[in-house]
Amino acid sequence: MTSKKRFRNKYRLQLREKDHEPMHVHLIGGDVNVRIDLTTLRIVAGSMPMDLKREVMAWLHAHRAELIEEWKSWQR
């Protein structure tokens, strides 16, 4: 498992080794435990406040390609 980005010094965006399909990342911290599909950038499990969601989704949109490549490399 690796933290790729911290948001507000409270939430961590993580990629996990040998994780299941579909390609996704986890956002955890405080009361937030969310799984986000990297292909669609949709939340597939959990929820988070709207202002945090905007911030996280903007960052994911900008870094999606590199996260997908890293996710694939960890699944081999």
pLDDT of residue 74: 82
The residue whose two tokens read 């969601």 is 53
Please give the mean pLDDT across all residues of the chain: 92
Q: How many CB atoms lie within 10 A of CB 27?
A: 22
Q: Domain for residue 75, yes or no?
A: no
pLDDT at 48: 97
- pLDDT at residue 1 in the model: 57
Has residue 44 been placed in a domain? Answer: yes
Model confidence, pTM: 0.89
Whether 57 maps to a domain, the answer reads yes
Which two structure tokens, joined as six digits, stand for 59? 């960052």
- Which amino acid is located at 2 in the chain? T
Residue with tokens 């965006």: 13
Q: Which is higher by pLDDT, 5 or 59?
A: 59
Instruction: Kindly state the average pLDDT of the residues 50-69.
Output: 96
Instruction: With respect to residue 32, please indicate whether it lies within any of the assigned structural domains.
Output: yes
* Res. 10: pLDDT tops 60: yes
